[in-house]
């Protein structure tokens, strides 16, 4: 083997290693889509429920029933249809992703049970229920933000915990305004980190794709 061939082979090996590292790093980053979708669903549901209360409509619980159905269908799409029926390029699996995915499933199940419980017990009767939801959001944001070392999500967790404390402190005195607290915390905890993460992920993905297509 010629010296030039050995050098070229070494360069190819280094390029392959860098490519694998780049894929692993991209896999470790949060795309932000989950936070965006869930954030907008929760934000719209909160505002819709608030408007219904203020306009005298008595079927505010229907908003959360619709939210539960949509969330369930999205979960089925993500966990079943997209995973087993849509073909995607193989991705590097990491322990962090596996752990976060399992925690995400636990969070989703807990959230659905809590939403159903609030619906059955009458979410209109007590805004305190939103305090428990904010506690759950904060817990998940803190875990996810810590796993991916994403500070905006950790800040979002603190905001949601503070919102929960506010709701618990004032109790039923807040009334329908607890929905505004919920919407505000969701906007800062879900949407801001989600859209920011999406932007960074897209930029990183474009750079990685450009590297991979270079000769």
Residue 198 vs residues 33, 63, 82, 173, 192: alpha-carbon distances, Å: 7, 27, 20, 38, 10
Kindly state the tokens that stand for 194: 């989600």
Q: Is the dihedral of CA 192, 127, 42, 27 positive or negative?
A: positive
The Cβ-side half-sphere exposure at 25, using a 13 Å CA radius, reads: 13
User: CB within 8 A of 53, min separation 6: which ones?
Assistant: 60, 124, 176, 179
pLDDT at 134: 93
pLDDT at 22: 47
pLDDT at 11: 60
Q: What share of the chain is helix, strand, coil (3-state, %, to 5)?
A: 85, 0, 15
pLDDT at 190: 92
| Burial group, residue 126, by CB count within 10 angstroms (0-12, 13-18, 19+) | middle
Separation of first and last alpha carbons in the chain: 22
The Cβ-side half-sphere exposure at 167, using a 13 Å CA radius, reads: 27
One digit per residue, the tens of pLDDT, for the chain of length 215 reads 554 554 455 565 555 545 544 444 444 456 778 888 889 999 998 999 899 888 887 766 778 778 778 877 877 766 665 555 555 544 555 666 777 777 877 887 887 787 777 666 655 456 788 888 899 999 999 988 888 888 999 999 999 999 999 999 988 788 889 999 999 999 999 999 989 988 887 776 554 444 343 33
Residue 162 vs residues 50, 154, 170, 191, 200: alpha-carbon distances, Å: 21, 12, 12, 17, 27
> pTM higher than 0.75, yes or no?
no
For the chain, what are the domain ranges?
3-213
């Amino acid at each position: 083997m010629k010296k030039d061939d050995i050098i070229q082979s070494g360069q190819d090996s280094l390029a392959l290693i860098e490519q694998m590292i780049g894929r692993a790093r991209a896999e470790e980053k949060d795309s932000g889509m989950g936070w965006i979708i869930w954030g907008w669903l929760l934000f719209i549901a909160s505002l819709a429920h608030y408007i219904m209360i203020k306009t005298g409509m008595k079927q505010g619980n229907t908003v959360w029933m619709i939210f539960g159905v949509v969330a369930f269908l999205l979960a089925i799409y993500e966990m079943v249809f997209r995973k087993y029926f849509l073909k995607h390029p193989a991705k590097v699996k990491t322990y962090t992703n596996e752990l976060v995915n399992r925690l995400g499933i636990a969070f989703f199940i807990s959230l659905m049970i809590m939403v159903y419980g609030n619906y059955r017990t009458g979410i209109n009767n007590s805004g305190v229920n939103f305090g428990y939801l904010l506690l759950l959001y904060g817990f998940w944001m803190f875990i996810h933000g810590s796993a991916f070392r994403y500070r905006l999500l950790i800040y979002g967790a603190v905001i949601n915990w503070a919102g929960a404390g506010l709701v618990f402190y004032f109790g039923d005195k807040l009334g329908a305004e607890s929905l505004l607290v919920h919407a505000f915390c969701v906007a800062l905890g879900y949407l801001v980190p989600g859209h920011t993460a999406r932007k960074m992920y897209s930029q990183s993905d474009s750079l990685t794709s450009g590297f991979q297509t270079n000769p």
